[in-house]
Amino acid sequence: MDSNSKIIRGLIKISGKILFVIGLVLNICMVFFGFWPSIIYLLFMLLGGFMIFTNKDVDTSVKFDLQNFNFRTIGNNLKKEDFEKSVVSSIKIVLLTLTITTIAIIGFFYFSKSYYKNQNTRQDCEEIVTALNSYKKDLSSYPKSMDSLIGNNPLRKAWKKDRWNNDLYYKSINNDKNFILISKGKDQKLFTKDDIVFKN
């Protein structure tokens, strides 16, 4: 590794450490104040960690001679080919870092989207179950359909569908003494393993 490539990679590694620490501190602060860690701060940590990992062989404990790191000095002391190799090598590392980080971001959003749809659907169903139990308490039986539960309440119109925009399956059973409420889940198929089921 030539000296200029070492300097560039060392600066990338130091920048990675700074990003990682900033992301870590901000996430700790959010957790301390009762918030979920921010996706942006987690990505800071991810990017910083990758920048450190890809340049782990660079010893940043050695002080770089940054005063001599300028294009005029490089032009005088290095052959054109060596300088081009150094720049190309550094650009490859940066592009690789950005590519992997982008893939990680897309993957994170893809999987977290499904996770939050599942969690939010469960919360919606729990709210519906509370309303169903209240309905039975007042009328001594569960409603025969979701329409009976929703009535003319505009705030309950969204109860017909889950977060995947599928119709919720509701059925009263045992002469309206019990009920079953099902979200089809991610696969959008009823009576499969990923169904979200509530019943009493």
pLDDT 10s per residue in the chain (200 long)? 556 677 777 778 888 888 888 888 887 877 776 666 677 777 878 888 888 888 788 776 544 454 455 444 444 554 555 555 666 666 676 667 667 767 776 776 676 677 788 888 999 999 999 999 999 999 999 999 999 899 888 888 888 999 999 999 999 999 999 999 999 998 889 999 999 999 98
| Residue 168 · residue 181 · CB < 8 Å | yes
What are the CA-CA distances from residue 171 to residues 126, 144, 145, 165 (Å)?
16, 7, 7, 19
Two structure tokens written together for 179: 């009920």
Predicted TM-score (pTM) of the model is: 0.50
Whole-angstrom distance, CA of residue 137 vs CA of residue 45: 51
CA distance 94 to 196: 44
135 is written with which tokens?
């309905």
Q: How many CB atoms lie within 10 A of CB 188?
A: 13
Taking the CA atoms of residue 113, residue 119, residue 125 and residue 126 in that order, the dihedral angle to the nearest 10 degrees is -160
